[in-house]
């Protein structure tokens, strides 16, 4: 009987202390499955610690493991894309390196996939060890993506742990955008999507490289890649301001004829500040779209590999 080959893809940034433990748990979870073979591709997102040497040492002992190191810190979504582009499996599983997503539930995801589902999301029922601010930001982001951007199939509680069929990955690799969320794109392409629920664990060790700045960037990338809603809102705001200005001019004219002319300075400054702030905000929104258009038009490589335990 032919075994199912699973490609595990792990973007890693400063995960030297966690990867050996994750490797051990992958072996414990998948080696007992008689009908499953696996490979593990770890993409080092230009870590400052010994992440790549640790992966290289594991790869030297186990040919199922491959380590790659990006030449610059490009973000987890670019690292994930690189890993997916090098996979050999019948399906791929995105698996973080900090042990928050337990590899033990991959077998459950496999069962759902074998039932005909082409994308299986592992949805967080709860999140251990995360403060209220992080959870609130995450839920707000997914609310925007579902309600405003229109990706209604994106799990409302958030998910970055998934299994995807090889056919889905092949389609995903046809997209060349640099500034895009892989997770949002995976939802947008469609196919048969399902989900299982799990409890997200506490980070095993080290500190997360997922900073607030990176979260804001991925949120902006996600919105601008899939929606013109901000530009539409600018149009509505412009019409509202124009209507308000017209009505205000009628008030001024009426006051003039009633013998109560406007004194001008305070009201004028308020109007100027509001209009100036609104114009700057609109310019910033347009700038986000223009910048991403320019960035895509350059056609720079999405990733550059500095080192590889398995060249070629």
Q: For the chain, how many helices (H) and strands (E)? A: 10, 8
How far lies 270's CA from each of 183, 267, 276, in Å? Answer: 43, 5, 10
Going by pLDDT thresholds of 50, 70 and 90, the confidence category of residue 40 is very high
Q: How far apart are CA 191 and CA 76, in angstroms?
A: 24
pLDDT of residue 203: 59
Q: Tell me: the pLDDT tens digits for 79-127? A: 888 888 888 888 898 888 777 888 888 888 888 888 888 888 887 766 5
Q: Tell me: the pLDDT tens digits for 243-292? A: 676 676 677 677 766 666 666 655 666 667 677 767 777 777 777 777 66
User: Has this prediction a pTM greater than 0.75?
Assistant: no
In this predicted structure, the answer to whether residue 206 has a pLDDT above a threshold of 60 is no
In this predicted structure, the answer to whether residue 190 has a pLDDT above a threshold of 60 is yes
In this predicted structure, the answer to whether residue 1 has a pLDDT above a threshold of 80 is no
pLDDT of residue 52: 87
Start-to-end Cα distance in the chain:
29
Percent of residues, the chain, with pLDDT higher than 90: 3
Lowest mean pLDDT among 22-26, 102-106, 117-121, 295-299: 295-299
pLDDT of residue 76: 78
In this predicted structure, the answer to whether residue 208 has a pLDDT above a threshold of 80 is no
pLDDT of residue 8: 92
Of the CA atoms within 13 Å of residue 245, those in its CB half-sphere come to 12
Query: What average pLDDT does the segment 30-57 reach?
Result: 87
């Amino acid at each position: 009987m032919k075994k199912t080959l699973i490609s595990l893809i792990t973007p890693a940034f400063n995960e030297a202390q966690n990867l050996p433990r994750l490797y051990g748990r992958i072996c414990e979870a998948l080696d007992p499955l008689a009908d499953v073979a696996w490979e593990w591709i770890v993409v080092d997102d230009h870590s400052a610690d010994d992440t790549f040497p640790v992966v290289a040492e594991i790869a030297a002992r186990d040919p199922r493991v491959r380590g790659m190191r990006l030449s610059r810190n490009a973000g987890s979504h670019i690292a994930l894309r690189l890993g997916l582009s090098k996979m050999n499996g019948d399906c791929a599983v995105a698996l973080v390196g900090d042990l928050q997503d337990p590899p033990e539930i991959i077998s459950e995801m496999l069962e759902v996939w074998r039932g005909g589902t082409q994308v299986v999301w592992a949805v967080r029922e709860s999140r251990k060890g995360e403060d209220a601010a992080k959870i609130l930001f995450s839920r707000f982001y997914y609310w925007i993506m579902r309600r405003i951007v229109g990706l209604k199939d994106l799990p409302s509680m958030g998910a970055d742990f998934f299994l995807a069929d090889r056919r889905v990955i092949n389609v995903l690799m046809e997209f060349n955008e640099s500034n895009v969320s892989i997770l949002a794109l995976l939802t947008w392409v469609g196919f048969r999507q399902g989900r299982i629920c799990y409890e997200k664990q506490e980070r095993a060790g080290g500190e997360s490289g997922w900073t607030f700045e990176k979260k804001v960037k991925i949120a902006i990338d996600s919105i601008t890649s899939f929606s013109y809603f901000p530009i539409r809102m600018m149009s509505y705001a412009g019409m509202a301001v124009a209507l308000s200005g017209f009505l205000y001019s009628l008030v001024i004219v009426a006051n003039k004829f009633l013998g109560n002319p406007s004194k001008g300075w305070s009201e004028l400054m308020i109007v100027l500040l509001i209009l100036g702030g609104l114009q700057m905000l609109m310019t910033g929104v347009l700038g986000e779209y223009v910048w991403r258009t320019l960035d895509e038009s350059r056609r720079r490589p999405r990733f550059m590999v500095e080192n590889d335990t398995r060249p070629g």
